[in-house]
Structure 1
Amino acid sequence: MKLFIFSLLLLFPFLIFAQSNNAPSTNIPHEITITGYLQTQYQRAQSAGISSFSGGDFAENSKDRFMIRRGRLKIDRADNYSNIVFQIDATQNGVQLMDAFIQLHKPGLESLEFTAGLFNRPFGHSIVYSSGYRDFPERARVFQTLMPRERDLGAMITFNPEKKFHFLTAELAVINGSGHSSRDYDSKKDLVGNLGFKFDSLANKKMHIGFGGSFYKGTVRNNTESYYTNGDNGFVKNTSPTNVGLNAKRNYLGANLQVQYDNTFGSTLFKAEFVGGTQPGVASSGSIKGPYASQSFSAQPATDLYLRSFSGYYLWLTQQIAKSRFTALVSYDSYDPNTKVKDIEIGANNNNTTAGDIKFNTLGYGITAQVSSRIKLTVYNEHVVNAPTQLPSYLSDLKDDVFTMRLQYRW
């Protein structure tokens, strides 16, 4: 199944214009512009206190909640030589910086652009696509795990020809690798690259197609004398004083696809994205819940590293209903943090596996209503499934489905 999906993405690659966060409201020279959006929502979980990638974990004794999911305020300005973007996120948890970057370009050579600051990592489609335009409430579990909060600090070069090769976009960034952290915890820098092609207004302007491929090449510093690698049906422990300061590989390859067809019933949009590679993580423990054991680090990990071979993907389908304001949503995503071990082997004696190695699949379905040009209502349910393991807390599927009702206002 994984090989089939990856082959499909390579053989039939397509891309839609993305509403990217790595850009001002418009590249046309303008004075300070203020835009943003507010997402307020109600959620009900299947059980109290569950771990969730639908807006964060639920409190220990709660299975329903009201919350501000996102409260974005974006300020930007553009002239003939530069753009500047500054964005914050204000929720019930406080105010956080989201974007802060400067873009430079030369008049007559707008196809080449230099960006420096805090920006979205140029990997794939969903990472850079704005949450204010995305129909689905959240990004897929695999991307929330690999690139939490999407941003990193660094510098990037973008090449987007305006004439003969206008369908091409190439991006290459050097970043800290510690994400949205206040500081980098080692001297190594990570490299991220993206190559995309977009073809708009085909088939009498009814079809929009394209494709993209990305890579991430980085490391995570090991701070102990031991680390674990995949072996037969589990992990093998490697111990040596020379392992302190080891740079464990953090490498990803991705491919993405989007197809939109504007038919007589209403616009149909299909999106898919696959990513696989090696992800340094830690063991699941009393302080680190299973789903977060393979999450990328914003601070130096204090425990032994676990090097996992992983894969993940999502399939998203939206269908406008009879050209009305209503759009039906269906999604399926999968994240396997350890492709070298079978689910039923997780938790077996002496194989060093933990809840951090469990595969999760999510089926989502719902509907959106575009109440006005600024207001959108989303009703969505996620059915989350994990296979049985030998771990006491994961002998069967967890009851961790989540229902979401969201109201968004964008200005």
Structure 2
Amino acid sequence: MKLRLLSLILVCNLIFSGESVAQRFLMDLVDTTNQMGKGMLSIYERYNRVRISGYIQPQFQLITKEGAETYGGGNFSPMSNNRFMLRRGRLRVDYAHLNERSEPTSYFVFQFDGTERGVAIRDFWGRFYENKYKMFALTTGMFARPFGYEVNLSSANRETPERGRMSQILMRTERDIGAMLTVSSRKDHGLFTVLKLDLGVFNGQGMSGPMDYDSHKDVIGRLSLKPTKIQSFNGATFSAAVSGYWGGITSQSAVLNKTRQQSGEYYMVRDSSANNFRKVAPRNYAGADAQFSIPNRKGETEFRAEYIRGRQTATFASSETPGVYPVTNGVKDPLYIRNFDGAYFYFLQNLGSEEHQIVMKYDWYDANTSVSGRQVSSANGFSKADLRYDTVGMGYVYIPNSSLKFTFYYDFVRNESSSITGFEQDVADDIFTCRVQYNF
């Protein structure tokens, strides 16, 4: 009974303490060189090293056509162009173990997502620190892939309702199962006080499938410059990173499809060589991102940019990384290899107060850079998975207090005109989102 009472008091204190516990990035941890890390340590010490946090995101959406396909929270039902939904409902528990010198030795996190569609695991990982050099840490379990900026920006803190189309296609569900070494100094001097290196090995398909379907593992790395103040530029803050993804899918068929040029025209060419069986079809990406924030008298102006290109292996109908190996009528489907590129550009501006913010975003994702426009045709072996999409988003965010956020956002989505049936011109799929976020 006493234990239950203490637990109840602990939870109530956490909820009503006024501390902002939402994490900006999915893999923010105990890093005593930054303000968040110091704040987290004080919370752990005050509340027996346990932290409970969470948020819910009820929202209303309106799309321009009934039954439209969208990356703005999932496709609509065939006879619906508007909906109420619970986009996310997260509950997260963190536990940190500190030694007698109040240094972090291990860290454990689990997080669940509950909506009207069911309950799923989002994070389930642990990390341990070495404290001799205060530089190395190892994370194992299910956690966010260390690639790019937008993928790792928490949905609780992201200014747009969803990550961009490219992020969702390449890094579906953002998380994967694996192990990651982090090099980041927790001292106040040395090269890695301003730099951070994450290098991990993962299954590859992420949480979109129930298990790893081949023995091939993907290696992901990110070298980043931590946010650095530029005093000569009005105290502006600059950060940047480069990311790499070296992975693939082991072909379980003797057929691979690639885009090739023949007689001056591009085709999706079928390669039925027996050597293709068990051959690793590539998932190789390279990315770079930068963020520049200028403080105003109240609030700030921020610019973000991120560019990614590479080779993606998927299926005929989609360029998404498959969660399970594709099968039709018991026969393993052939894989499709495409060259792609894409980018994100953000402009964020507070309106005379930290409570009010306007958001502007432009992104593109070209699933097959070898072909464009009318060249994308069924006769040449292509599908809607080879189309380019450009999206312009505009929104307004109102944050009356640390536990409440309102978002009003409109996405103008444009696919290129092609020779694919149903995509001869732009498809009606612009979407408006009105969201309320409650967090503790």
Whether these two folds match at TM > 0.5 is: yes
Q: Which amino acid aligns with 2:428?
A: K
The CA distance in 2 between the partners of 1:174 and 1:265, in whole Å, is 42
Instruction: Kindly indicate whether residue 435 of structure 2 is the aligned counterpart of residue 406 of structure 1.
Output: yes
Instruction: Kindly indicate whether residue 340 of structure 2 is the aligned counterpart of residue 307 of structure 1.
Output: no
Structure 1 residue ranges (4+ consecutive) displaced by more than 4 angstroms after TM superposition: 24-27
Structure 1, residues 127-151: CA drift from partner, whole Å, max 9, x if none? Answer: 1111101111111110100011100
Q: Which runs of 5+ in 2 are unaligned?
A: 1-22, 31-36, 99-104, 328-332
Instruction: Kindly indicate whether residue 165 of structure 2 is the aligned counterpart of residue 113 of structure 1.
Output: no
User: Does the 8 Å CA contact 1:368/1:377 hold for their aligned counterparts?
Assistant: yes
Instruction: Kindly indicate whether residue 59 of structure 2 is the aligned counterpart of residue 41 of structure 1.
Output: yes
What TM-score, normalized to structure 1? Answer: 0.91
Q: What's the counterpart of residue 124 of structure 1?
A: 148
Instruction: Kindly indicate whether residue 182 of structure 2 is the aligned counterpart of residue 164 of structure 1.
Output: no
Fraction of identical pairs, as percent: 32
Q: Which amino acid aligns with 2:286?
A: L
Structure 1, residues 330-388: CA drift from partner, whole Å, max 9, x if none? Answer: 00010000000122111152x11111101000000010001212101000000000121
The 3-state SS of whatever aligns with 1:371 is: strand
Q: Which amino acid aligns with 1:251?
A: N
CA RMSD of aligned residues (A): 1.5
Q: What's the counterpart of residue 11 of structure 1?
A: none
The CA distance in 2 between the partners of 1:256 and 1:64, in whole Å, is 35
1:329 deviates by 0.7
User: Does the 8 Å CA contact 2:372/2:388 hold for their aligned counterparts?
Assistant: no
What TM-score, normalized to structure 2? Answer: 0.85
| Distance change (3 Å), C-alpha of 1:324 and 1:186 | closer
Within the candidate set 116, 129, 138, 1:92 is matched to 116
Structure 1, residues 110-138: CA drift from partner, whole Å, max 9, x if none? Answer: 32100000000000111111110111111
Q: Which amino acid aligns with 1:398?
A: V
Within the candidate set 398, 401, 421, 1:372 is matched to 401
1:322 deviates by 1.3
Which has the higher Rg, Structure 1 or Structure 2? 2
Q: Which amino acid aligns with 1:301?
A: P
User: Does the 8 Å CA contact 1:221/1:300 hold for their aligned counterparts?
Assistant: no
Instruction: Kindly indicate whether residue 209 of structure 2 is the aligned counterpart of residue 185 of structure 1.
Output: no
Q: Which deviates further from its counterpart, 340-349 or 376-385?
A: 340-349
Q: Which amino acid aligns with 1:63?
A: N
The CA distance in 2 between the partners of 1:348 and 1:42, in whole Å, is 36
The CA distance in 1 between the partners of 2:227 and 2:407, in whole Å, is 29
Instruction: Kindly indicate whether residue 205 of structure 2 is the aligned counterpart of residue 175 of structure 1.
Output: no
Q: What's the counterpart of residue 363 of structure 1?
A: 392
- Give runs of aligned pairs for residues 331-410 of structure 1, distance below 5 A: 331-347=361-377, 349=379, 351-410=380-439
The 3-state SS of whatever aligns with 1:393 is: coil
User: Does the 8 Å CA contact 1:190/1:219 hold for their aligned counterparts?
Assistant: yes
Within the candidate set 99, 119, 126, 1:102 is matched to 126
Instruction: Kindly indicate whether residue 290 of structure 2 is the aligned counterpart of residue 257 of structure 1.
Output: yes
Tell me: higher relative CO, structure 1 or 2? Use CA pairs within 8 A at least 6 residues apart: 1
The CA distance in 2 between the partners of 1:35 and 1:324, in whole Å, is 23
Q: What's the counterpart of residue 8 of structure 1?
A: none
The 3-state SS of whatever aligns with 1:142 is: helix
The CA distance in 1 between the partners of 2:314 and 2:321, in whole Å, is 7
Q: Which deviates further from its counterpart, 218-227 or 375-384?
A: 218-227
Q: Which amino acid aligns with 1:79?
A: H
Q: What's the counterpart of residue 26 of structure 2?
A: 21
- Give runs of aligned pairs for residues 228-247 of structure 1, distance below 5 A: 228-232=257-261, 233-247=266-280
The 3-state SS of whatever aligns with 1:123 is: coil
Within the candidate set 353, 357, 370, 1:327 is matched to 357
Q: How many positions carry a matched residue from both structures?
A: 385
1:265 deviates by 6.2
Structure with higher helix content:
2
Q: What's the counterpart of residue 201 of structure 1?
A: 229
